[in-house]
Amino acid sequence: MTTHTSIEQHPDLAEMRSRFERATSTPRAQAIETLALLTGLYLAASPWIAGFNGLTTLAVCNLITGVAYALCLGGFGSAYERTHAMAWAACAIGVWTIVSPWVVAGNVDTTRSVVSNVIVGCVALLLGLAMAAMNRGSTGRGRACGH
């Protein structure tokens, strides 16, 4: 008769959790997470901060994407091993933020909206890429090859 141990006790899983914990406990990772949270909050509030809240379609779009971005990258410190793939969703939100003034219905491509969205979109994209790279930087070459 064989006994099956829980997957939670598997040595590879324990090593992976340890690696993710090391990756997110660095000052760099914590700074990226904090900047990403602030970027998401700014994106959500940007129509009122930059003064294009009269463009309701873009204002609602920025509010929704800003909250989504903050939620995507805001939980990395506590659950990185389960959420690191969401960094790619954050990158997509950054790209969407850059192109949204020209894509959203209505005449919303004013100077204020374009400048605000392009800058915050670039920052969001770079932070998402930096967070996605956190896992790559913490894996060893032998581990990536399956050894």
Range of the domain at 30: 24-137
The reply to whether 32 falls in a domain is yes
Instruction: Count CB neighbours of 52 within 10 A.
Output: 23
For the four alpha carbons of 82, 88, 91 and 92, in that order, the dihedral sign comes to negative
pLDDT confidence tier of residue 147, bands split at 50, 70 and 90: very low
Q: What's the pTM?
A: 0.73
Is a pLDDT exceeding 90 seen at residue 100? yes
The reply to whether 2 falls in a domain is no
Token look-up 């004013």 returns: 110
Tally of domains in the chain:
1
Using CA atoms in the order 49, 52, 57, 59, what is the torsion angle rounded to 10 degrees? 0
The reply to whether 34 falls in a domain is yes
pLDDT confidence tier of residue 121, bands split at 50, 70 and 90: very high
The reply to whether 144 falls in a domain is no
The reply to whether 16 falls in a domain is no
